[in-house]
Structure 1
């Protein structure tokens, strides 16, 4: 084989395998369980040159294919590990890989992935002070260098900083999650704290270039232009549309406070320093290989989109592409096609854009589905919902079908009336202004504290819906600061526009259709075509997506 990758199912290892396969190399992936091949296939990577082999580096490898280049991307990256657990992979496992590689007759290079806080000092690492993860990485680094020197192994160690990208949910990601959920009142560290990043795609390309370079160098791979920690968090907060903490708390003080108060894992605090790192050799090597890092702020924003889309690793995104965009001065979560959607889908309460996932999968052509302002993952509107909707649709170059549900039907109707030339058809699903006024949730849950604590099961019961990922997504958003309050206010309010909207419906200059559930009837007569979905309630697009898709042309 051209290369063998240990730890090939890990966050870094799988990206490295994808990079090597993309370069036409024959790659052996050493794994304990083959979750790698489905991951590669889902990303369109040609696996014709891939061989997966079973290996557990905590035991000496046996019966593996020979390879020219050996990569060890296997590690236990987690905080709160026991010493024995951490050492088994990060020390003993690393030495097992080196000993196996030493016996290869055609070995060109052994590439070991370490960590940027490793500086190979003299003496034994302090497990009590550093924690098992960092101390074991340091011990493994020292042991590997010594053994390679004894055996004459061509070893290169790559020391990456915080590696970010889709699938990374450890370390900095936990801090971003607290920021997203309004649980980060202050930042640990100080104004000069430096927590550097590097993207996983860049790091994989860097690793792929190492074996062809002369041996002897060890590389610190990180972006020296990463903003200082307070600015980094401010960049993420601005992109997410949440408030950044204004205060910092010295690490020494955070260590003395209860973890229940700070939410900080003590092991992560050793990474929060003002230290800088010896990156000159890595920068020179990258320049010689034609590698260029993406701008740090851009990489952070893209990673934040993935963190929110996956609920920080808890779910698989229901709709894509996805991300935050500026719409009418507000940070808005937008999924789908922004320029030429066949359907634009506007959700009702207390849901978000994920409500449309079952229907979107059955519709022909691309869809555009945002979270409405102040709801779901979107920040509150700065200029009102009508201005927000007009700005959302300003990049659209075709005349899509505008589909709105429940309380979203009124702004959709106003947009169609004002801009008939930009809408092909207006479809109103369970339009609230044509139904009996009042909340769609039982009054027992129409209190903000109660709404915020609703479990997916209780929310589903309150809505008369089966449990599922769409309800789980809505329940997760209701726990975010301000969302439950805005939902309750909207559900309690009686729209002053109901009569006006009914009048506007009679004069709108685009074709209009209405879809409703048989258990959720209209209370006002209309002159437009009405489709009744038998057995459906207020959310037919969720409970009866096949029937709704059929009536929309799917």
Structure 2
């Protein structure tokens, strides 16, 4: 297979990348294409092209070719530079499974590169714990993955000398960035879900990181380095692991573990208790690495790593947005922001939204993804404080909302759902100059009181224990990403309890919110599902969505978008 055209093969390509669908490989291909190079991507299945398109990277200089590096290679396009970023990166692998790609595959790539006409260059991507005799763990103590990478590193060096193939090796540390869900990401996931009571290692444990963007730029430049060099590519300014996790915890608005447990003790404890894969423990050490050559080379070609704390925060946002690999972000803009004492999760345009969307319970801002796809212009959709992915605040929700809108330069339509309608009304009454129009979707204070689940003493326990399928069934919704995202958040410490508390508090304020509806000065419209009508009469415009229940924006997004954006009743 070759795309877009085998005419690219008529002359030698600039580069061919093996493992081009992997986390590092795809970023390298993107970097090379952005530089105007002609690139072949050697893959087993083409998931690369749609990923590149989503990143806004043109593919007119890309040829996609099928290759299985576990077998001898032939019939591939010639290239001046051969990159091997292919690796089976996982823990718990069998020896044969790990060696098939990491050892046999690496040697097959090298053997094929040796058949190319000169000038040629092989860039092999190894690892910071497995390369060279002076650094790295005892291979007898490592798992199949690490042992295979170490074996490959030595074997590739020896075979390259034997065949006279010009070789450079890059030894990256833990690579972070959008799409990286293994390794250090496991600790961040445990931290986020409140399942990291203590850190393995000690106060000086060093787990260095490097961003995938910096690594891709470094690799793109590496063929210009003298042959035979190998470089440890990592940020030596990475703080010790406890400080690193503390930085991430502070950004996420969660509590960092205060204790550390020696790695030797963790190895002796049951995995079911520690949650730690024994193979990952080999990466937790106080070792430092010889980064001088990589730093000098990077400086010489004008490369500079981003501040490590900023990189960690951005990666934490990426992990949360993607549910640690369980989903994908529905907006290109997302992240945590400090709002009224809350580490608030915000999706969308924080400065010039046309619509601000406030979710009801027990959902989060992902509830609005289907509707946002039908709305014109940018939207802003936060998670309410203490709910979804946002940390709590001691200030009222309407005060939190007012501070959130302080950064907004437009006068947006404020769209609130269910229990969020009360704070939205309060904001519209007290700060009418901030709101262009108010749309209340299924306002809970005008509908039947909360279900029995909320009045139960075990309500929070039941909510926290619900699977996505059970939650969807309870809410009368089809299973989907929004419900799965909400179910995941409900399992985080305190979220289910705060959901139930918010429901109970709102139930006691129904009369207060009804009175606010008579005081609001901005245009108001109410949207409800036909199967979930109002039980309290109002004088404002009420629009029904046929066939919908309490979540019409999720089940009938196009219809709700039409009602949200239609001209107010009586307007010319």
Tell me the residue number matched to 1:522: 534
Q: Separation in 1 of the partners of 2:115 and 2:373?
A: 52
Q: Distance in 1 between matches of 2:506 and 2:231?
A: 63
Task: Return closer, same or farther for 1:493/1:503 CA change in 2, 3 Å cut-off.
Answer: closer
- Distance in structure 2 (CA, Å) of the matches to 1:550 and 1:294: 43
Equivalent residue for 1:130? 142
Alignment correspondent of 1:91: 103
Find runs of 4+ consecutive structure 1 residues off by over 4 angstroms: 122-128, 440-446
- Over aligned residues, Cα RMSD in angstroms? 1.7
CA shift, 1:320, in A, is 3.5
Asked if 1:545 is matched to 2:539, the reply is: no
Q: Is the 8 A contact 2:419 2:506 kept in 1?
A: no
- Answer yes or no: is the 8 Å Cα contact 1:438–1:491 preserved in 2: yes
1:355 and 2:377 are equivalent in the alignment? no
1:509 Cα deviation (Å)?
1.5
1:128 Cα deviation (Å)?
Answer: 4.3
TM-score where L is the length of structure 2: 0.94
Check if 1:234 corresponds to 2:246. Answer: yes
> What is the match of residue 285 of structure 2?
273
Residues in 2 aligned to 1:386 and 1:245: alpha-carbon distance in whole angstroms: 32
How far is 1:543 from its partner?
1.6
Indicate which of 462, 466, 471 corresponds to 2:478: 466
Q: Following the alignment from structure 1 to structure 2, what is the Cα–Cα distance between the partners of residues 11 and 181?
A: 24
Measured in 1, the distance between the counterparts of 2:297 and 2:412 equals 50
Structure 2 distance, partners of 1:392, 1:553, is 23
Gaps of 5+ in 2: 1-12, 567-572
1:408 aligns with one of 417, 420, 428: 420
Map of 1:2 onto structure 2: 14
Output one character per residue of 1:420-448: Cα deviation in whole Å (capped at 9) or x when no partner.
Answer: 11110011111112223233857679622
Following superposition, the deviation at residue 206 of structure 1 comes to: 0.2
1:285-333 CA distance string (max 9 Å, x none): 0000000000101111111111111111111223341111111111111
2:257 maps to what in 1? Answer: 245
Aligned to 1:422: 434
Cα deviation, 1:272-293, whole Å, max 9, x if unaligned, reads 0111000000000000000000
Change (3 A) 1:442 1:462: farther
Matched, 1:184 2:196: yes
SS of the residue aligned with 1:2?
A: strand
Task: Please state how far the C-alpha of 1:167 moved relative to its aligned partner.
Answer: 0.8
Is it true that 1:480 corresponds to 2:492 in the alignment? yes
> Helix, strand or coil for the counterpart of 2:565?
coil
Question: 1:284 aligned to 261, 274, 296, which one?
Answer: 296
Figure out how many residues of one structure are paired with residues of the other and give that number: 554
Partner of 1:376: helix, strand, or coil? coil
1:484 alignment partner, SS class: helix
TM-score, structure 1 length as denominator? 0.97
- 1:250-265 superposed matches below 5 A: 250-265=262-277
Alignment partner, residue 535 of structure 1: 547
- CA change 1:126–1:247 in 2 (3 A) is closer
Corresponding position of 1:396: 408
Change over 3 Å in CA distance of 1:194–1:428 after alignment to 2: same
Measure, in 1, the Cα distance between the counterparts of 2:481 and 2:457: 20
**Aligned pair partner of 1:336 in 348, 355, 358:** 348
Ranges in structure 1 where 5+ consecutive residues have no aligned partner: none
Mapped to 1, the partners of 2:293 and 2:454 lie a distance apart of 64
Partner of 2:5: none
CA contact (8 A) 1:425 1:512 kept: yes
State the SS of the aligned residue for 2:323.
Answer: coil
Q: Does 1:199 align with 2:211?
A: yes
In structure 1, the residue corresponding to 2:347 is in which secondary structure?
strand
**1:23-34 map, 5 Å:** 23-34=35-46
d(CA) in 2 for partners of 1:444, 1:470: 25
The change in CA–CA distance for 1:144 and 1:494 in structure 2 (over 3 A counts) is closer
